[in-house]
Amino acid sequence: MKQLKLTGFVIFLFFLTESLTLSTKPQDVDDVSITKKFIEENVGYITIIIFAQYIQEASFEEVEMLVKTMTEYRDKCLADMTLPECSELANDVLLENICALEGLPQKHNFSHCCSKVDLEKKLCFFHHKKADVGFLPPLPTLDPEEKCQTYKNNRESFLNNYIYEVSRRNPFVFAPTLLTVAARFEEMTKTCCEEQDKANCFRTKAEPVIQYLKASSSFQKNVCGALIKFGLQVLESINIAILSQKFPKIEFKELTSLLEDVSSKYDGCCEGDAVQCIRGRSKVMSHICLKQDSISSKIKECCEKKIPERGECIISSNKDDRPKDLSLREAKFTESENVCEERDANQTSFMAEFLYEYSRRHPELSTPELLRIAGVYEDLLKEGCHTENPPDCYRHVEHRFNETTEKSLKIVQRECERSQNLGKEDLKYYYLIKLTKIAPQLSTEELTFLGKEMVTALTTCCTLSEEFACVDNLMDLVLGELCGINENRNINPDVDHCCKTNFAFRRSCFEGLEADKAYVPPSTFQGLFTFHTDLCQAHKEELQRKKDRFLVNVVKLKPELPDAELRSLLTDFTNVVVKCCQAEGPEACFNEEGPKGSQ
């Protein structure tokens, strides 16, 4: 059951607001003033995040120049808030200063963004972000002793550099999340630098931090992709489903009020406006705790905690108990004679209330499945409300809901059976081949990442009592990674159709995809069958990464081959590595054996 916490954590992630230096005062203080103070104290970290996410190619030295400029701006405005420049929005000031750095816009190819104004300017910088960070050098790694000495000598520079490196590699992660990661990294550094076996300490304590960042990134990219590609209504549907399951006793009117705070903050968070994102999240947290009596009985202790801890507490709290007087179904949507009239009076509100009522009654369903049910109901009413006797159309709609869930359940069952039959490694190879065949245009790095994430979803969820919701939620996040955030991301017509046509039903759409027949493979793949002795020195994990990359690149080169033949080429690669690394002259062996694979 411990693993399942990750799923609830991912699905409820947008409530987290933590920081490195946020004042630790009780809940009854003015949250607005605390948030303001937090932003002022963390202006350096916030500047690094925004700059490194927008201009990922920028050097650390260039980022430090902007930090100096923005810190001076803060000090000037704290001294005299009546200055004209102090009335501007923080994100606008930051973008102006990025553009003012001499030669930088030309060097990093964003001068066209600097010539734009207001929203166009902000969106231009947003579209400059690159999800595939393969163009960046490998993440620098320090020896544990060296890491501790660097932290001891200059804590600020050490943390600044860490935030810079993580931010540029995670351009769509929300600023509060990155600040949380940095806080946990510093906590880990303090602890491990006191240990005798520093290397083992860092290795052990880094894993949950990495998982937290990955889970946060996946969820945030998914909801931002939904907002940008499908609009506010789909985003609100996602939030209705999540909140109604988490807080089943909340009244619809209160939910609607909370939704205004939750949904409005996404514009800033998704576009990379760190200050607006932080303010929005703080407002959401305050709303939940202020109205906790009418929202949930499970968060009283959380809301009594100091501000940095309360977000984590609410996220990890269990779903509230279903109200005892809550009927198994809401008759208003199936039994009433006036369903069509109520729908026509305010279609958006009517469908929101339906999703709320259905979600709070079905904690066992995934978020995508709840959206599918709502879609089925909406389509049925569109058709049925124009018939002579509408009640005949919607009175037996429950069986349509059951059919929809049954189809989704069968997909999950097939995937879990495959996971059980193949085992972890063979399952990964299955997905690497499948994903590369349907989307060969993606980079090798993206495809290997997606393949591993598919396996993680299934090995985490299959066999759990909540198997269906867990698998469906996590697999949907992987598809969100594949589809990406930007609406102008194009992979190939079939994949684009699944990504952009219907958010709720994209899983079943992808299920039916076959190899991209329009794809023209390269005539050769430079160095694919050229191996060297570095394979003999590679650690187990590094060798596995090379095998995964080899398989993906072979599929890109020879997509017409059946899966069994592609797996056979991977087996040949493994055998060559074993044979040549045991030979007296490994390099000569690789030179002889490697080219045979291309024949």
- For the record, the structure tokens of 372 come out as 């599918």
| Rounded distance between C-alpha atoms, residue 160 and residue 414, angstroms | 46
How many other β-carbons are positioned within 10 Å of the β-carbon of residue 346?
Answer: 11
Place of tokens 């050098």: 137
Max distance between CA atoms of the chain, in angstroms, equals: 85
Contacts of 3 (CB under 8 A, 6+ apart): 460, 461, 464
Place of tokens 């058709």: 383
| Rounded distance between C-alpha atoms, residue 455 and residue 449, angstroms | 10
Contact 47, 178 (CB under 8 A): no
How does DSSP assign 460-472, residue by residue?
A: HHTTSTTHHHHHH
Among 483, 524, 488, smallest CA distance to 506 is for: 483
Among 280, 348, 285, smallest CA distance to 315 is for: 285
Contact 281, 47 (CB under 8 A): no
Contact 53, 129 (CB under 8 A): yes
| Rounded distance between C-alpha atoms, residue 166 and residue 206, angstroms | 13
| Rounded distance between C-alpha atoms, residue 343 and residue 339, angstroms | 6
Distances (CA, A) of 275 to 23, 233, 314: 17, 24, 22
Contacts of 124 (CB under 8 A, 6+ apart): 110, 112, 113, 116
Contacts of 488 (CB under 8 A, 6+ apart): 127
Helical axes 175-192 vs 274-290, angle rounded to 10° = 90
Q: Is there a binding annotation on residue 28? A: no
Contact 405, 412 (CB under 8 A): no
Separate counts of helices (H) and strands (E) for the chain:
31, 0
Which long-range contacts link 137-144 to residues 24+ away (Cβ below 8 Å)? 139/165, 139/169, 140/165, 144/192, 144/198, 144/199, 144/201, 144/202
Chain centroid offset of residue 317 CA = 21
Contact 461, 411 (CB under 8 A): no
| Rounded distance between C-alpha atoms, residue 476 and residue 366, angstroms | 10
Distances (CA, A) of 80 to 75, 76, 77, 259: 9, 6, 5, 36
How does DSSP assign 535-590, residue by residue?
A: HHH--HHHHHHHHHHHHHHHHHH-TTS-HHHHHHHHHHHHHHHHHHHTSSSHHHHH
Binding-site residues, please? Answer: 273
Residues making up the annotated binding site for Zn(2+) are 273
